[in-house]
Structure 1
């Protein structure tokens, strides 16, 4: 059986420019959605909490300013109506103003101070209410200590002077007849909400009433405490998401990497993968793909070992015959016997050359299948071209090589299959060569295409009029290096790889190939038939 393998040229594929990358929501990725949702949720908790508390802080300060302004305007009106003396130039009576501040209710967390038109302090609610501020005293200084107490340090004195200047500026602005409100640092270093209300008699500014609320730091502290639950929840969400991602991604990937390292370092043929088959995400798909890949590689390595053993066995036979003929050639003097030995040598050399060629073709088959990409092929046109090549090489008369090849299709329209043109053409050439080798000189090999009923495939049938195939060998003929010749046929004319290569190519295209015997009405074998089924591409 002669085989022909044409090496297809690698198709040049021009690299297309990379499309602009855009963010796409991972619709088919559960793990991707989980990662995005968990991290966005943790971030959203912190952002929402911060926004809510910022609004609360601003609202509390604004509410305190409104409250102090209302209270200050009321006190300023009372002082104007009660403590104003002098005509025609009005002025404030310090004694009456102090009594009013003592009578009026001033909460303990607030401080009221009254200044005259020149900015001189007239009354202080802390003084008239006999309020004494107390603080924990610092540790007693030891003899020889040169450090001053905190309240006497230059930095503390500078802060106090800055606070007094800020109060003076606020009073000066209020003297212009407009209320002043805001936050500032008091003499003791605390942040206070301050409102300065001018005391006006008609249009004359008699003084300024300043109300301070020193609970701003308490408000800020309360806000920070209120923010803590949001921070804790966010941190818990981030930690949980990190632990979850670690267990779902990092640990399985690490186990997969260790399994791969085990194969690389110890030369193991099979890989023991972690059981992730139950997962319905990318890692589950990766685990199943790696398992299938390693199983396929293991089978491929077993096939390579069997192929190497078969090759060694097949090559050994002609080499043994050649060595025996060479050793005998020097001992034979009869010209006829020497001619027979030379003929044996020539036959074995041709057989060895045929074996090496077919073995090379078989070993390159996987690479050729991976280089050429499948495309829609008109099967009728391809078979017609193959048949025309054999007709062009036809020899006249009943001689070797005079077997005709006739092609006929029962389907008039084009028959499209998704295949690689060169390898699939090799399948039909191998089948036709095999059929011709078993046919009588001046015989005929018939090739035709049909569409089996109830199937989405097309079938290519190759018939010959040879002796047929023994029933027990209908499957074994597709094994590598298997040859079975009827009596009278020359031994060594075939390598036994043609049908094996044909089956490998057909199965790589998702098809099937099988052999059967043709019989007449009486049940006698009248030839062999090979059937190749391939998926059809519907237009």
Structure 2
């Protein structure tokens, strides 16, 4: 089996937090390296796409503003020149000389991609650069139709739409010129007759302060530049798409597929009755998938161990129950054959003894089988062992009958606390005390000692008796289920052999250890058995438990 991750370890009271490999803080998001990796990839793709879109929008707005500013400067320059050169002489009121203005525009100013129109004081068009030069943009006309051929309906609709659009454009231009005749320069972005976006600037032509007309200057290559920029955005979109695809692929390879493998392994455990999950390549990973794989393996390994324990427990229970049942059956079969009352009374006593033994077995087996559920149900809390042991020993003192072995408690003046469950821990101490009293001779004494020692498990409890002790070869065997070794004269069947097994199970569930030794110190009252329990203490304030 691979090593078990810290997340799969038993949740022992007072156990320290599992140590993790240190990572740089910026690499983790919410404590998850895998989450930070996924988040970074998705944010990167979105930032690339949004950054490109924002850059294009800002550049488009800057382009329009720059064109408007450039056209405004050009229009003001042309307006000043026309205001000086294109004026009719010899009239009382200054007027625009249309011929001179047209000649000057044709010879000096017809830049490519721009259109110049001149309007008189009444807003009527007098000059159009498309009419005084050969630089007239347009589209290639379709081939001529044969004479007398009917005009297609869709062509008629198109002509009507073009005429309506041209009328709307002329209305917009007329409104723009009218506002400029009022003396205020106008800058707009609109569509021309061909449907292209144009930047238009209308400047009033003045002679001194007299408005002589309006000069309209248009630049119609804005859409071409914007199309170029849209095409420039394509690489951003492709890079963002590639990053997203890579992220999806990585998520599939490093998250989806491993989870599917874990799911398939779990189904295999269910369907094929396998005992554990083992995926070494996933367990070596250092992210959450590796933690999950190790946790699942630890969980299934624990379940497998528990199943083996249940099987052994069931076999032991069956064996132990069959013994008194066999004795009862034999006695019942023999009872009709006895001849005397003395023999009948002997068989009856044997039957009663076996019934009591069977009742004790069933009670202890029931308690042992419920122990795991009780340990998982109760919430651990800080327990003062001074008070708990004092209460338990006090009960023995108040209920002790003449001739029974007394129990003496030795404890420090200050309290010693442990994180655990008072019910199961009380059962541990009662089992050990009862076991020690059953082995103690008449006039003996059971001593319970609570003390604090150095080490990882600083709390130690010793339960000592003055009995015959434990054979050296059985110092570990006594903790096995259904093991009994009673002194001569003890009532047969009064012990089930589960008491010390339950003690070890409860102590280990609390993160401690229990051992059995023999003492042979005359100063301590002669020979006898000693059971020693060590437990972790309650962590100091400020430390996580």
Provide TM-score, normalisation by structure 1: 0.90
Deviation of 1:514 after TM superposition, in Å, equals 0.5
Count of matched residue positions in the alignment of Structure 1 and Structure 2: 510
Deviation of 1:144 after TM superposition, in Å, equals 6.3
Deviations 1:364-384 (A, max 9, x none): 001111111111111122112
Unaligned runs of 5+ in 2: 1-27, 541-545
Deviations 1:103-126 (A, max 9, x none): 113211111111212222222212
Partner of 1:91: 95
- For 1:70 and 1:336, how far apart are their aligned partners in 2? 137
Partner of 2:40: 37
Which residue of the other structure, out of 59, 71, 75, is the alignment partner of 1:56? 59
CA contact (8 A) 1:252 1:274 kept: no
Partner of 2:467: 466
**Correspondence 1:495-514 to 2 at 5 A:** 495-514=496-515
CA contact (8 A) 1:113 1:125 kept: yes
Partner of 2:107: 103
Taking a change above 3 Å as real, the CA distance of residues 483 and 66 of structure 1, as seen in their structure-2 partners, is: same
Q: Give the 3-state SS of the residue equivalent to 1:53 in structure 2.
A: helix
Partner of 1:349: 355
- For 1:276 and 1:492, how far apart are their aligned partners in 2? 53
- For 1:361 and 1:229, how far apart are their aligned partners in 2? 72
Partner of 1:380: 386
CA contact (8 A) 2:275 2:301 kept: no
CA contact (8 A) 2:385 2:418 kept: yes
Partner of 1:14: none
- For 2:399 and 2:73, how far apart are their aligned partners in 1? 115
Deviation of 1:436 after TM superposition, in Å, equals 1.1
CA contact (8 A) 1:30 1:281 kept: yes
**Correspondence 1:84-233 to 2 at 5 A:** 84-86=87-89, 87-138=91-142, 146-149=152-155, 152-233=158-239
Partner of 1:304: 310
Taking a change above 3 Å as real, the CA distance of residues 521 and 429 of structure 1, as seen in their structure-2 partners, is: closer
Which stretch shows the higher mean deviation, 150-159 or 68-77? 150-159
CA contact (8 A) 2:117 2:215 kept: yes
CA contact (8 A) 1:466 1:526 kept: yes
Q: Give the 3-state SS of the residue equivalent to 1:209 in structure 2.
A: strand
Deviation of 1:134 after TM superposition, in Å, equals 4.3
Which stretch shows the higher mean deviation, 78-87 or 266-275? 266-275
Which residue of the other structure, out of 248, 256, 267, is the alignment partner of 1:250? 256
Q: Give the 3-state SS of the residue equivalent to 1:364 in structure 2.
A: helix
Partner of 2:3: none
CA contact (8 A) 1:311 1:359 kept: yes
Partner of 2:407: 405
Which residue of the other structure, out of 322, 332, 336, is the alignment partner of 2:328? 322
- For 2:399 and 2:70, how far apart are their aligned partners in 1? 111
- For 2:436 and 2:76, how far apart are their aligned partners in 1? 117
Taking a change above 3 Å as real, the CA distance of residues 274 and 193 of structure 1, as seen in their structure-2 partners, is: farther
Q: Give the 3-state SS of the residue equivalent to 1:99 in structure 2.
A: helix
Q: Give the 3-state SS of the residue equivalent to 1:338 in structure 2.
A: helix
- For 2:61 and 2:137, how far apart are their aligned partners in 1? 28
Partner of 1:19: none
CA contact (8 A) 1:467 1:525 kept: no
- For 1:141 and 1:242, how far apart are their aligned partners in 2? 57
Deviation of 1:48 after TM superposition, in Å, equals 2.4
CA contact (8 A) 1:517 1:525 kept: no
Which stretch shows the higher mean deviation, 172-181 or 226-235? 226-235
Taking a change above 3 Å as real, the CA distance of residues 455 and 162 of structure 1, as seen in their structure-2 partners, is: closer
- For 2:132 and 2:380, how far apart are their aligned partners in 1? 100
- For 2:401 and 2:198, how far apart are their aligned partners in 1? 115
Partner of 1:6: none
- For 1:426 and 1:530, how far apart are their aligned partners in 2? 15
